[in-house]
């Protein structure tokens, strides 16, 4: 028996958010082996094989949860730029709006564009009142993305040996608890 997993394709002004493909492997592996890109994501650099396994894990979440992380590519060139979507490992306290870009694409507004599209899709298609972004201290770029998206800092959380800031993205119209 074959199981089909539906992964939507989202379009923004400059990006296409879609399922990871085997052709993304080289660029994704380069991104995940870059110390600057990985600095605020646990700092362990991924080998080429580990990057492949990470892509498989990201794809597998779609089948297990019905949502997941999209590969992000430039709309005009098709170049892989990074990822954005809903990451929800079993040991996370709630679904995370996660995003990361290859260093060459930093500072161009792609993270906000991709994360906003993924967030809006998740709220439109799933019964989620909120998404979190778990951001390591000193990651000012990611904090700026969360703030630009309207996230509220809720506190801190310990995840896999790290203490992260807990930012919350609320579904439009959701009550804010203070």
Supply the pLDDT for residue 177: 56
pLDDT per residue as tens digits for the range 5-32: 889 999 999 999 999 999 999 999 999 9
Residues 6+ apart with CB under 8 A from 108: none
pTM of the entire predicted model: 0.93
Q: Is 10-127 a domain of CATH 1.10.8.10?
A: no
Segments of the chain with pLDDT less than 50: none
* Residue with tokens 């298609």, as numbered in its chain: 125
Supply the pLDDT for residue 125: 96
In the three-class reduction of DSSP (H, G, I as helix; E, B as strand; rest coil), residue 108 is classed as coil
Supply the pLDDT for residue 73: 98
In the chain, where are the structural domains located?
A: 10-127
Structure token digits, residue 41 = 């994501």
CB 119 within 8 A of CB 169: yes
Supply the pLDDT for residue 176: 61
Percentage of residues of the chain with pLDDT beyond 90: 83
């Amino acid at each position: 028996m074959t199981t089909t997993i539906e992964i939507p394709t989202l379009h923004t002004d400059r990006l296409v958010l879609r399922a990871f493909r085997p052709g993304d492997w080289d660029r994704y592996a380069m991104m995940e082996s870059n110390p600057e890109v990985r600095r605020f994501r646990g700092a362990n650099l991924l080998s080429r094989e580990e990057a492949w396994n990470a892509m498989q894990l990201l794809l597998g979440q779609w089948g297990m949860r019905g949502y997941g992380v999209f590969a992000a590519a430039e709309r005009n060139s098709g170049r892989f730029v990074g990822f954005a979507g809903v990451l929800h490992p079993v040991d996370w306290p709630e679904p995370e709006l996660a995003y990361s870009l290859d260093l060459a694409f930093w500072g161009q507004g792609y993270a906000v564009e991709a994360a906003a599209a993924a967030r809006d899709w998740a709220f439109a298609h799933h019964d989620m009142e909120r998404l979190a972004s778990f951001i390591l201290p000193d990651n000012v770029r990611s904090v700026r993305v969360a703030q630009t998206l309207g996230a509220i800092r809720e506190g801190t959380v310990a995840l896999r040996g790290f203490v992260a800031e807990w930012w919350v993205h609320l579904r439009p119209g959701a009550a804010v608890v203070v």
